Structure 1
């Protein structure tokens, strides 16, 4: 088991955002978290990456309790995130943004090889290599955010709403690339409102509602679950 979230709670002030969430991600999987706005999906991701402290419970990665570990040290352990809203550095070039993803690394040859891997996945980024991040289209910025996370050479890639604001053709392309990243050996935990795409790609998935997990199963099972179809797939 690569990631284990064990009965965690998380507070925003006096508001409890997560209510005893437990889930796990095995090495080599794509695992999806789906749910409506405000369900706690992004909060769960921030707990895993160390951007929000948990109030109780435990988060274990590769068997190590990382519940109190600083966010930057979680990156060193192999947890890298592409955040909701992309968060590219607008005044930096594509190359500089990608280099920022490798800021904790010192292996120059490995960094160069990983940059070539990113360009293989996202040829558009190579075409835009000297362009500032803030001048890219929404789809290109999403590619850059994912590419930057890959530059940390993650054991676990966290993707928070990778399809947000993208045209349907680009959403398909992004999820094709997520599947390819997984086939190349990277474990993926993805938070996504586009339940159709997420469940069709995920090995397993969890459904979050108001800070609690209400369903779990294989991606295929949840894709065909009547309650999930009615709530998230627009199918009565």
Structure 2
């Protein structure tokens, strides 16, 4: 087991955003976490990446309790997030943004090889490698955010709402790339409102409602679950 959340709670002041959630991610999987706005998906990601402290429970990564480990040290351990809203550096070029993803690494040959891999995966970034990140389209910025996360060579890639605000054709492309990243050996935990796309590609998935996990199963099981269809896929 690569990642385990055991009875994790997170509070914002007196408001409890996560109420003792437990989930696992095994090496080699794509695991999806779906839910409506305000369900606690982004809070879960922040708890895993270390930007939000736990108020209860434990997070184990690669056999180590990381519940109180600093966020930057989690990146060194192989846990990297592509955040909601992309959060690229708009004034830096595409190449400079990608270099920032490798800031914890010192293996120059490996960094160069990974840069080439990212540019092969995202040909649009190669074309725009000298452009400022802020001049890219929304889809290109999402590709850059994912590429930057990959430059840390993560054991587990956390993707927070990668399809948000993108055109349908670009969404399809982003999800195809997520599958490709996984097939190349990176484990993925995906938080996504687009349940159709997420469940159709996930090995396993969890459904989060108001800070609690209410359902879990394989991606296909949840994709064909009548209550999920009605709540998240717009099918009565």
**Counterpart-to-counterpart distance in 2, 1:134 and 1:13:** 34
- The offset of 1:80, in angstroms, is 0.5
| TM-score, normalised relative to structure 1 | 1.00
- How does 1:1-236 map onto structure 2 within 5 Å? 1-236=1-236
| TM-score, normalised relative to structure 2 | 1.00
**Counterpart-to-counterpart distance in 2, 1:120 and 1:128:** 13
Deviations 1:48-90 (A, max 9, x none): 0001000110000011000000000000000010000000000
- The offset of 1:120, in angstroms, is 1.0
Q: List 4+ stretches of structure 1 deviating above 2 A.
A: none
- The offset of 1:46, in angstroms, is 0.4
Deviations 1:179-229 (A, max 9, x none): 000000000000000000000000000000000000000000000000000
Structure 1: gaps spanning 5 or more residues: none
**Counterpart-to-counterpart distance in 2, 1:121 and 1:44:** 28
RMSD of equivalent CA atoms:
0.3
- How many aligned residue pairs are there? 236
Q: Secondary structure of the equivalent of 1:189?
A: strand
